[in-house]
A and B are shown apart, each in its own frame.
Chain A
């Protein structure tokens, strides 16, 4: 049963955000007997609110509050993330990959790369492996333990056939947090498509209908939707004491807290810390390093669409259940450091294909391309991008949102390594389709960023980053970073599984500290 906590109850852990980081952490903490209040900026939807309509669901789920994008980002929609209970786990495609061993120590492996702010993680793959295993079990990831992989749809079969012709060997339907058989009270995938509009039957893991109701059933958890946190308060000793948030009527409230954990995604998390500046912390909370808001990463991405010689119907079935992993290795002989994954991606409906295939195109020739819609195949290219000190999140000097909080300005420019990797990936993706006689191939630039990482990074030394390997901030012992913001570097893999693994580990650590009265 859901519980409510008093605003003045300073024994609770407050979690900001209810997505992969915040939703998971909340449930993990309450399962260990700790009381949690989770504040979520967005509304709470149910499965019946999820429909197969890309445009309607984009408007219903997305974080559309004003943001400025500069550099290579979309100016008005730099990110494609969600403002809803469940956060971006409602939208995500379900790809659940572990980082590779070397991706935790890229400063050592890649060496000094001019312009990049590389740093090794303070953690290793070996340390994280048990938590990856627990995360995979929680999410029901296909291809792990005894969980079968999903069947391949047409778009996968095209990619796999081309991959085979090119000699790629690591090709399968992925490690997906989408049930291939009924599990955990949720059904198997019906190959509906529209995964990224929200899974209407709950076959895809989302905290909306897994972690959050499980947490509520303990009687130790309260989720408050429509609650936008604007500031973290602290006392004279520099300890966090609670958070100020705008409730659904816009009225500011203060929830007291024993511990504050921030999981607002990689723009809102540093925005909140920066907006919590005080005379004691003039540069923002937990920012003695100056690294809050810096090193923003969004992965090297790009998309390849191809018009194939026969019908594909690439919108049918699980959207991202298909992967070529061969290019994810670190192999500097290709002309760049790090690697990338090639994953199936359909077109977000006819209007999506018309908007995105060639930006700004029109006329008879382009209309003829759109008429080949049912012959389209598509893949997404996603790889490691390098952290750069100048890529990041800042508060707008004058413009404020309706709660009086400065609007975030997000800046990102590709590193030369990102560009070299993208060009290699475009060629590789194009070759896959051309090996099967594709009549036309299109290389699409990055969409608004869904993989957002690094703006409050983990570091061994306090001067290099914001938090330690448990996500605990170096400066404020009872303040934690609980989302992808804590990534030191981004790896080639979709980040959610790593966010969940880190949240489980953080819950273990936090529960241990609380039991020893260390907070």
Chain B
């Protein structure tokens, strides 16, 4: 179980991203410490930031920095640029999250954010974001290596000499 130390999630919620409007009509969203940036073309800054927090809320991993969740937002933004229905689905979804408790969803406590998400669970907005998070977060080699999935092996000669049978903890009988 996790200790009581403030987690990255709690830190995130007390912190603001920096959003910069771009001449192209999109937004540049900068991490609080300027360590990474995310740019959008279809989604406004608030929607993009909310979706980033939502991606983490769906699959929260303290070991992962926000830049990995930002790739989820970039992916749906890119799709939304040529898919007006998706753009509306995401924008409306964020508006519903914000409307649920009268203050911006990202400002809610962790428990309250989960409770609001729960009310969306059966809907298309939720399933779209859940699928997008799985398909973009966990297929990122920088992410999956953290979890012990090792990706492509053929260029390394497979595992025949690299531990396909190296298990050490099994009982002898």
Contacts and interface: CB of A to CB of B under 8 A. Distances in A.
B129 to A, nearest CB: 10
| Interface residue tally on A, bucketed by range | 35 or more
Contacts of A367: 59-61
B153 A193 contact: yes
A52 B160 contact: no
A181 interface: no
A170 interface: no
A442 to B, nearest CB: 16
A495 to B, nearest CB: 27
A315 B149 contact: yes
**Most chain-A CB neighbours within 10 Å: which of B151, B163, B167, B173?**
B167
A366 B57 CA distance: 11
Nearest to B157: A190
Given A351-B135, A362-B130, A310 B147 contact: no
A191 interface: yes
A371 B64 CA distance: 11
Interface in A369-420: 370-371, 373-374
B150 A200 contact: no
A115 interface: no
B171 interface: yes
A152 interface: yes
A250 interface: no
Contacts of B164: 151, 153-154, 191, 316-317
Given A355-B134, A370-B59, A349 B167 contact: no
A191 to B, nearest CB: 4
A164 B173 CA distance: 8
A157 B170 contact: yes
A351 B138 contact: yes
Interface in B128-173: 130-131, 134-135, 138-139, 143-144, 147-154, 157-160, 162-171, 173
A201 interface: yes
Contacts of B134: 351, 354-355
B114 interface: yes
B13 interface: no
Contact of A190 (B149, B160, B163): B160
Interface in A124-152: 151-152
Interface residues of B, number: 41
B118 to A, nearest CB: 9
B58 interface: yes
A194 B153 contact: yes
B168 A310 contact: yes
Contacts of B173: 164
A190 to B, nearest CB: 3
Contacts of A364: 60
A174 to B, nearest CB: 15
Interface in B42-73: 57-61, 63
Interface in A263-312: 309-312
A310 B138 contact: no
A350 interface: yes
A56 B149 CA distance: 17
A47 to B, nearest CB: 10
Contacts of B59: 354, 362, 366-367, 370
Interface in A309-351: 309-313, 315-317, 349-351
A364 to B, nearest CB: 5
B148 A311 contact: yes
A481 to B, nearest CB: 37
A116 interface: no
B82 to A, nearest CB: 19
Contact of B171 (A161, A366, A374): A161
A191 B166 contact: no
A201 B155 CA distance: 11
Contacts of B138: 349-351, 354, 370
A381 to B, nearest CB: 22
A191 B159 contact: yes
B149 A154 contact: no
Given A153-B164, A316-B163, A55 B139 contact: yes
A310 B171 CA distance: 11
A373 B147 contact: yes
A51 B152 CA distance: 8
**Most chain-A CB neighbours within 10 Å: which of B114, B149, B159, B168?**
B149
Given A157-B167, A192-B159, A373 B149 contact: yes
A55 B135 contact: yes
B158 A311 contact: no
Contacts of B168: 310
A436 B172 CA distance: 11
A53 B149 contact: no
A350 B159 contact: no
A400 B61 CA distance: 45
A371 B153 contact: no
A364 B58 CA distance: 8
A310 B170 CA distance: 8
**Most chain-B CB neighbours within 10 Å: which of A151, A164, A349, A354?**
A354
Given A154-B166, A164-B173, A310-B168, A192 B148 contact: no
Interface in A423-472: 436
17 contacts: A52-B152, A52-B154, A154-B165, A157-B170, A158-B170, A189-B160, A190-B154, A190-B158, A192-B154, A192-B158, A192-B159, A350-B138, A354-B134, A360-B130, A363-B57, A363-B60, A371-B61
Closest 5 CB pairs of A and B: A374-B148, A190-B158, A310-B169, A52-B152, A317-B164
Given A157-B165, A316-B159, A316-B163, 20 more contacts: A52-B151, A161-B170, A164-B173, A191-B164, A194-B152, A194-B153, A310-B167, A313-B148, A316-B164, A317-B164, A349-B138, A349-B144, A350-B144, A360-B121, A367-B60, A370-B61, A370-B147, A371-B147, A373-B148, A436-B170
